[in-house]
Amino acid sequence: MMPGMNELPKCLKCDSGSMLPLSDYGRDGASIHYKAWVCSNPECGFNIRIDNGEVTLGRTIGQSYK
Ligand SMILES: [Zn+2]
């Protein structure tokens, strides 16, 4: 059990959404917990990815500005 799971960190970009932890599965089927975090605000789309120990910030995915 991890403490504080109900207290997701606030998004640093829009300050209204929460950062949701995403898990993924590696090629060998091993689960990778919290590989990426994404803002719960669809209008924000801020996300953080963690690949091989390196953090990639804010690569927007499918976002369009109008
Ligand atoms: Zn946000």
Question: Tens digit of pLDDT per residue, the chain (66 long)?
Answer: 555 556 888 998 899 999 998 887 878 888 877 788 899 998 998 888 887 788 888 655 555 555
Report residue 18 CA to chain centroid gap.
Answer: 9
CB 48 within 8 A of CB 19: yes
Tell me how far the alpha carbon of residue 39 lies from the centroid of ligand 1, in angstroms: 5
For CA atoms 17, 45, 53, 30, the dihedral sign is positive
Tell me how far the alpha carbon of residue 30 lies from the centroid of ligand 1, in angstroms: 29
Tell me how far the alpha carbon of residue 29 lies from the centroid of ligand 1, in angstroms: 30
Which residues are found with C-beta within 5 Å of the ion, ligand 1?
Answer: 11, 13-14, 17, 39, 41, 44, 46
Question: Rounded to the nearest 10 degrees, how much is the dihedral formed by the CA atoms of 58, 39, 61, 55?
Answer: 40
Model confidence, pTM: 0.63
